[in-house]
Amino acid sequence: MKISIYTPTKNRKEALAKAIDSVLNQTYQNVEMIVVNDGSTDGTAEYLEGRAKLDSRLKFFNKTDSEGAPVARNLAITNATGEFVTGLDDDDEFTPERIQAFVEYWDLLTRIGVKPSCIYAQDIFVRNGEVCFTTQKKGMVNADDLFEFNHIGNQVFAPKSRYIEAGLFNENLPAWQDMEMFMRIVKMYGTAHLLDCGTQLYDDSPKPDRISIKAESKVRDAFRQFSALHAANKPRSAQSLMLQMFSKHYGVRPGITDFINFIKLGFWSKGLLKMVRALFRV
């Protein structure tokens, strides 16, 4: 069974080389890696052309114009030939056994009668070359859990058909594209299940150009769109989603209008306390 791995990239040639190595050196060898070069100007195109000649499992698209990560991911997924698909950011790496562990865990779950919508794993956070910690994610995640927090992370392992039928990544969202895609998958196919071991090295080193870093206006816009799509007529879910916007990860501080809008959705003392803490966060 072939597994396809998609990777969008832009101007990170050195990091990308490590990401590619981590995929092509998997213990599970029946893989294809599809890299979408989203308008790089640092020699990435030439690097990919040369590297692909050494291993036919590496495929790539060299785009001259940058259209963003969701467009790049969708291009790769649409052209994937594997039965299952997962992703890898260009500055992260897989541990050698990640794909094999996913394949075996999916097979185990299905053999015992469990039907996961997708599976995900723990991440090993690395900062400036040093391991900081391994995540402790929830064992199972459903749609309601994702309003509270993106317990899945940034990658899932699932049949290609589920990405396609769920509608692929939302190219209009300025942030939260991963979480919104996972929301649609678990809504359509049920609970996501955790492979409880660290199989991805997640680079958490400070980077001004990191894909996950979003300006406040983009996070706020993402919240509005996400809420309209998935929390309409669900006030407590909308409140939980709003609290994600004010989490330490994004650094957005609530203003008076935010407090008013939050209370309009219903009085929730615990949620209001979290907003106050976010307001005075150092």
User: What pLDDT, on a 0 to 100 scale, did the predictor assign at position 215?
Assistant: 86
d(CA 210, CA 4): 24
Residue 188 has pLDDT above 50, yes or no: yes
Strands 84-87 and 3-9 come out as parallel
H or E stretch covering 80:
none
Mean pLDDT on 210-239: 87
C-alpha triplet 251, 148, 69: angle, nearest 5°: 60
User: What pLDDT, on a 0 to 100 scale, did the predictor assign at position 213?
Assistant: 45
The model's confidence at residue 8, banded by pLDDT at 50, 70 and 90, is very high
DSSP one-letter code for 211: T
Mean pLDDT on 135-145: 97
d(CA 44, CA 11): 7
DSSP one-letter code for 31: E
**205 or 36, which is more confident?**
36
The model's confidence at residue 129, banded by pLDDT at 50, 70 and 90, is confident
Task: For residue 268, give every residue at least 6 positions away whose Cβ sits within 8 Å of its Cβ, in sequence order, or none.
Answer: 236, 239, 262
Query: Is residue 72 exposed (0-12), middle (13-18) or buried (19+ Cβ within 10 Å)?
Result: buried
Q: Can you give the residue ranges of every domain in the chain?
A: 3-203, 216-279
Mean pLDDT on 106-118: 97
Average confidence score pLDDT of the chain? 95
Residue 56 has pLDDT above 60, yes or no: yes
CATH number attached to the domain at 3-203: 3.90.550.10
User: What pLDDT, on a 0 to 100 scale, did the predictor assign at position 249?
Assistant: 86
Residue 210 has pLDDT above 50, yes or no: no
The model's confidence at residue 212, banded by pLDDT at 50, 70 and 90, is very low
d(CA 238, CA 243): 9
User: What pLDDT, on a 0 to 100 scale, did the predictor assign at position 257?
Assistant: 97
Please indicate, yes or no, whether the overall pTM of this predicted structure exceeds 0.85.
yes
CA distances to 39, 45, 134, 219, 267 from 50, in Å? 17, 9, 35, 38, 59
The two structure tokens encoding residue 168: 């692929």
Edge to edge, the sheet with strand 84-87 lists: 58-63, 31-38, 3-9, 84-87, 158-159
Q: Which residue, chain included where needed, has tokens 């008013």?
A: 260
Percent of the chain with pLDDT over 70: 97
With H, G, I as helix, E, B as strand and everything else as coil, classify residue 183: helix
Residue 211 has pLDDT above 50, yes or no: no
* Amino acid of residue 199: T
The alpha-helical segments, DSSP class H, found in the chain are: 13-24, 44-54, 69-79, 98-111, 143-148, 160-166, 177-189, 216-230, 235-245, 256-264, 269-279
Condensed to tens digits (0 to 9), the pLDDT of residues 248-268 reads: 888 899 999 999 999 999 999
Neighbours of 68 (CB within 10 A): 17
Mean pLDDT on 180-194: 98
Q: Which residue, chain included where needed, has tokens 């919240």?
A: 223
**130 or 101, which is more confident?**
101
Percent of the chain with pLDDT over 90: 92
C-alpha triplet 89, 154, 44: angle, nearest 5°: 10
Q: Is residue 195 within 8 Å of 105, Cβ to Cβ?
A: yes
